[in-house]
């Protein structure tokens, strides 16, 4: 979908989500530890500008392979559950600048853990055809028990009877993160990758690097 066809109203966006969510495929044929992973994040300024950042890291050493940014104006209003329609145009533009096709996309947001089971990670995965999952800082939908305090502990995130993600402790005693599959990856695999990307901090290194880069791009 090109931004020329991009929805401009809530009704149009809901119709797009309804149409595309049937294309989500959670068949997982990824290597256990892909050679590289690509993180994505956006930052906003006070004038409606968005800076999107994508950062590819070598999975083994978490060193930066390449990074790109794209600045744009928001083309969709601020509407919970429809953030993808603000963030995807600049994110897709940044992804197109990469020299190497990403092996898997790690979004600062959600996949199936979304009211219509079609969060940013699902939308991005369907549009690009790439494996994608979300790691959210906060809960958007569902309920869960508290995971044990040890790193690697998790509990199911359940919404309306569906297991839509996992509440995962990435460091001993720190707040958990919310992992959900988006496209072409299973939840258990997404959790294992999240732990591989969080050797020292609560958030994946992909998110930390992309967040830093997107903020710098606004300055």
Detail the residues annotated as belonging to a binding site: 41, 108
Taking a C-beta distance cutoff of 8 angstroms, is the pair 106, 38 a contact? Answer: yes
Indicate the pairing of strand 132-136 with strand 177-183.
antiparallel
Token couple for 176: 């958990």
Interatomic CA distance for residues 178 and 120, integer angstroms: 14
Interatomic CA distance for residues 94 and 53, integer angstroms: 7
Query: Residue holding tokens 């997982």?
Result: 28
Token couple for 140: 């958007």
Which residues contribute to the annotated binding site for Mg(2+)?
41, 108
Query: Residue holding tokens 């839509």?
Result: 164
Interatomic CA distance for residues 44 and 87, integer angstroms: 10
Query: Residue holding tokens 């509440």?
Result: 167
Question: Collapsing DSSP states into helix, strand and coil, what is residue 39?
Answer: strand
Report the 10 Å Cβ neighbour count for 73.
11
Interatomic CA distance for residues 115 and 125, integer angstroms: 18
């Amino acid at each position: 979908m090109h931004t020329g066809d991009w929805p401009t109203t809530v009704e149009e966006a809901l119709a797009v989500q309804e149409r595309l969510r049937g294309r989500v495929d959670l068949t997982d044929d990824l290597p256990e530890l892909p050679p590289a992973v690509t993180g994505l994040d956006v930052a906003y300024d006070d004038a409606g500008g968005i800076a999107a950042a994508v950062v590819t890291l070598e999975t083994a050493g978490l060193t930066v392979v390449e990074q790109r940014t794209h600045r744009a104006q928001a083309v969709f209003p601020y509407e919970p559950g429809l953030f993808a329609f603000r963030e995807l145009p600049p994110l897709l533009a940044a992804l197109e600048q990469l020299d190497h096709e990403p092996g898997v996309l790690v979004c600062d947001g959600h996949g199936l853990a979304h009211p219509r089971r079609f969060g940013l990670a699902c939308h991005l995965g369907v549009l690009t055809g790439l494996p994608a999952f979300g790691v959210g800082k906060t809960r958007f939908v569902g309920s869960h028990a508290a995971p044990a305090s040890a790193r690697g502990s998790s509990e199911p995130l359940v919404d309306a009877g569906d297991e839509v993600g996992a509440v995962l402790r990435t460091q001993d005693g720190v707040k958990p993160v919310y992992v959900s599959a988006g496209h072409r990856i299973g939840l258990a695999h997404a959790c294992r990758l999240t732990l591989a990307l969080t050797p020292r901090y609560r958030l994946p290194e992909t998110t930390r690097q992309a967040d830093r880069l997107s903020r710098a791009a606004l300055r």
